[in-house]
Structure 1
Amino acid sequence: MRFVRWLRLIVAASIAAAVVATLAETASRTTINPFNFFGYFTIQSNLIGCVVLVVASVSRPDSPRRDEAILLLRGAATTYLVVVGLVYAVLLAPLGAAGGVPLPWANVVMHVIVPVYFVVDWLLAPDRHPLPWRKFWIVLVYPLAWCAVVLVRGATDGWVPYPFLDPSSGYGSVAFFVALITLVVTAAGAAVWGLSRVPAPGTPASPRA
């Protein structure tokens, strides 16, 4: 587990470096609007992932409730970053859209490397046990809140983080993509919750929850 903890800290540092470098690069070209810069699902999900990795690395489980809380955070972060990777690969990369990360190496870190790492960490790290389905709703809170804020901003000040959420394309199209994002988050979350029941290599099977 010591190797896993250090690896998580290294990945967390990589996320922080990518976000800071992107912020600096953007600031060198234009005035930073923090509500815009930090409004991207990619940026927010990576920051969530960074915090979760640090918490999972430095904490020592001292109660079943604390252990479950950390695992729920990991499960949620893994879900969001899987969605980041899928949306980038399917919707943004074909359009040549940077998705809020115009710096090439930082784009690769946040859209490719980090999502892949979270999946590998979820599958192979030994500090995992079955997540309770009764708490699956937790994974949907942040994405739905994010969509709501984006829709309000798109209808008021006109800013949207991704072209497929632009109201100028028609609210029917926007509604379709919001529904699609919700479906993808639900499916990704269900996969993460389901995989929590698959024992990591070298660990005994856990009882179902």
Structure 2
Amino acid sequence: MKKTLSLLFALTGWFAIITQYFLMIRNSEFSFWETTIRFFSYFTILTNIIVTVYFTVQTFKKSSNEKSGILTAITVYISIVGLIYQFLLRSTWNPSGMQKLVDELLHSVIPLLVLIYWYWYENKNNLKYGSILKWAIYPVLYLGYILIRGSFSGFYPYPFVDVASFGLTNVLINSLWITAFFFILSLVFIKIGKLTGKS
């Protein structure tokens, strides 16, 4: 059952990511390379790639042993994608057709699938609060990347990190709020994991 779900989730992820890429290339007014760089500048895309690679590996790996915490970290990342989209970004546009389908897969369906998978299969007994600092490396590096590239390209993938519109101070404050949200969500997942993982 675990491998079947992993395969299903991996296929869903690859479909959503590849389709989103083609839609972005088709509709972009920028060059192929600039569009590609922008595509890979979205936390949503990068995190969905991490999720999809994870499920692809789970589909083909022979051993079921896995270091506790990897799936939880991935679940925190994709949960942030879903929650920020639902509460901050959904109202900023109104996609239709295939774009709407892909949008829902990346921001709603896949986060929910990962959450279900985490609840069923994560080794929750061995989750450690100390792991949160390691989990934070990815989002912190991502933030640094988009701020540095945005400073000379003028492109910021999300409105709340748009230095040109809000100024660096406000963007850093927004980033601190999101960082705090990340740590709180990580604590919640570990706490729930420890409670539900008890035999």
1:54 is aligned to 56
TM-score (norm 2): 0.87
TM-score (norm 1): 0.83
Q: How much has 1:67 moved relative to structure 2?
A: 2.2
Aligned structure 1 segments of 4 or more residues deviating by more than 6 angstroms: none
Unaligned runs of 5+ in 2: none
Q: 2:131 aligns with which of 135, 146, 168?
A: 135
| C-alpha contact (below 8 Å) 2:72/2:122 kept by paired residues | no
Matched, 1:115 2:114: no
Q: 1:149 aligns with which of 119, 137, 145?
A: 145
Deviations 1:150-169 (CA, angstroms, capped at 9, x unpaired): 11112221111011111122
Q: How much has 1:97 moved relative to structure 2?
A: 7.4
Matched, 1:197 2:194: yes
Distance in 1 (alpha carbons) for counterparts of 2:178 and 2:122: 30
Distance in 1 (alpha carbons) for counterparts of 2:94 and 2:146: 18
Unaligned runs of 5+ in 1: none
- Identity across aligned pairs (percent)? 22
1:176 is aligned to 173
1:93 is aligned to 90
1:15 is aligned to 13
| C-alpha contact (below 8 Å) 1:129/1:196 kept by paired residues | yes
Q: Cα RMSD between the aligned structures? A: 2.1
Distance in 2 (alpha carbons) for counterparts of 1:25 and 1:67: 35
1:45 is aligned to 47
Deviations 1:115-167 (CA, angstroms, capped at 9, x unpaired): 11111111233654321223221110000000011111122211110111111
More helix per residue: 1 or 2? 2
| C-alpha contact (below 8 Å) 2:14/2:52 kept by paired residues | yes
Distance in 1 (alpha carbons) for counterparts of 2:72 and 2:86: 21
| C-alpha contact (below 8 Å) 1:52/1:73 kept by paired residues | no
